[in-house]
Amino acid sequence: MMYKMDLGRIMAFPLLNARYEGPLGGLDKVPRPFLIGVAGGTASGKSTVCDKIMEQLKKSGLEHHRHVTIISQDSFYRDLTAEEHERAKKGEHNFDHPDSFDVELMRRTLVDIKAGKVMELPMYDYIAHKRTTKTTVIHCADVVLFEGILVFYFPEIRDLFNMRLFVDTDPDTRLSRRVLRDVEERGRSLEQILHQYMTLVKPAFEEFCLPTKKYADVIIPRGADNIVAVDLIVQHIQELMRPNRPGRRQRNNSDSIVGRPH
């Protein structure tokens, strides 16, 4: 019998829970889905890097075999109280603090995704400051990219990743991109953006996001402009997922890929 479990608007359909082995038969020891965490400051290019990785995995002809999905940590913002909502409208709610996220929901959802469950995740509306009725469905994914400012902050989330990337873009570049994006796409005034940035976003980046860079397997300077880094990452994923790869094994969380920074 199919039943629907409501996880605070994140739904799981356990009937469809059978682990998808795909056209390649056994997966050897490479975990599927292969879960990649992508962290970095606001407007560093996390989403753009994820898009490039997905695009290149598809371009390489793997689309017949590989399903790639991108999820945003923003789908896991806690619901705001009426009072918090009023503050958010003035750029005075701290969306960059770890307490802004529903970490347990995030963890359960990622664990379910790793277990092969079909999930439907709500998308986030930055104008209304809440999750929308629009959803992304995740099923049969071979590679899942999970991007967000604090995806490496929580140990219980960090430890779930098979690969960790940190997008390291100059703060001036990030601020200028954020201003343009938030005016164009998130319905913000310049004054509100700068006030929120200086009082909340920048201090939280320095306190909570930047220190998590040390957990990355690969640091990507300049984000999606760094074609070499993106190419190397894609090649590595392809190599890991190549069928019948000799010596393929489950990655230990302490393994380095290009070199773990200290």
Ligand X SMILES: Nc1ccn([C@@H]2O[C@H](COP(=O)(O)O)[C@@H](O)[C@H]2O)c(=O)n1
Give me the residues that bind ligand ADP (CB under 6 A), please: 40, 42-48, 177, 181, 223-225
d(CA 161, CA 144): 10
Q: Which of 34, 76, 95, 153 binds ligand X (CB under 6 A)?
A: 95
- Residues contacting 236, CB < 8 A, separation 6+: 163, 257
The alpha carbon torsion through 208, 209, 214, 220 (nearest 10 deg) reads: -170
Residues pairing with 221 in the sheet: 168
Which of ligand X, ligand ADP, none is residue 27 near (CB under 5 to 8 Å by kind)? none
Cβ nearer to ligand X, comparing 66 with 129: 129
- Residues contacting 163, CB < 8 A, separation 6+: 34, 35, 36, 37, 217, 218, 233, 236, 237, 251, 257
CB of residue 164 vs ligand X: minimum separation in angstroms? Answer: 16
Q: Which of 12, 27, 36, 43 binds ligand X (CB under 6 A)?
A: 43
Cβ nearer to ligand ADP, comparing 142 with 168: 168
CB of residue 200 vs ligand X: minimum separation in angstroms? Answer: 7
Q: Which of 118, 201, 216, 220 binds ligand X (CB under 6 A)?
A: 201
List strands edge to edge, sheet with 218-221: 68-72, 143-147, 34-40, 163-168, 218-221
175 binds ligand X (CB under 6 A): no
Q: Cα separations (Å) of 223 from 6, 131, 173?
A: 36, 27, 11
Q: What residue has token string 């056209």? A: 23
Exposed (0-12), middle (13-18) or buried (19+): which is 248, by Cβ within 10 Å? middle
CB of residue 177 vs ligand ADP: minimum separation in angstroms? Answer: 4
Which of ligand ADP, ligand X, none is residue 177 near (CB under 5 to 8 Å by kind)? ligand ADP
Task: Classify residue 103 by its DSSP letter.
Answer: H
Buried b / exposed e over 88-98, threshold 16 CB at 10 Å, is beebebbbbee
- The one-letter code for the residue type at 38 is V
Q: Which of 10, 12, 27, 42 binds ligand X (CB under 6 A)?
A: 42
Which of ligand ADP, ligand X, none is residue 95 near (CB under 5 to 8 Å by kind)? ligand X
Which of ligand ADP, ligand X, none is residue 96 near (CB under 5 to 8 Å by kind)? ligand X
Which of ligand ADP, ligand X, none is residue 223 near (CB under 5 to 8 Å by kind)? ligand ADP
CB of residue 196 vs ligand X: minimum separation in angstroms? Answer: 6
Which of ligand ADP, ligand X, none is residue 245 near (CB under 5 to 8 Å by kind)? none
Residues 132 to 161 in contact with ligand X, rule: CB under 6 A: 149
Q: What residue has token string 């640091």? A: 219
Which of ligand ADP, ligand X, none is residue 129 near (CB under 5 to 8 Å by kind)? ligand X
Question: What are the residues binding ligand X (CB under 6 A)?
Answer: 42-43, 46, 74, 77, 88, 95-96, 126, 129, 149, 201
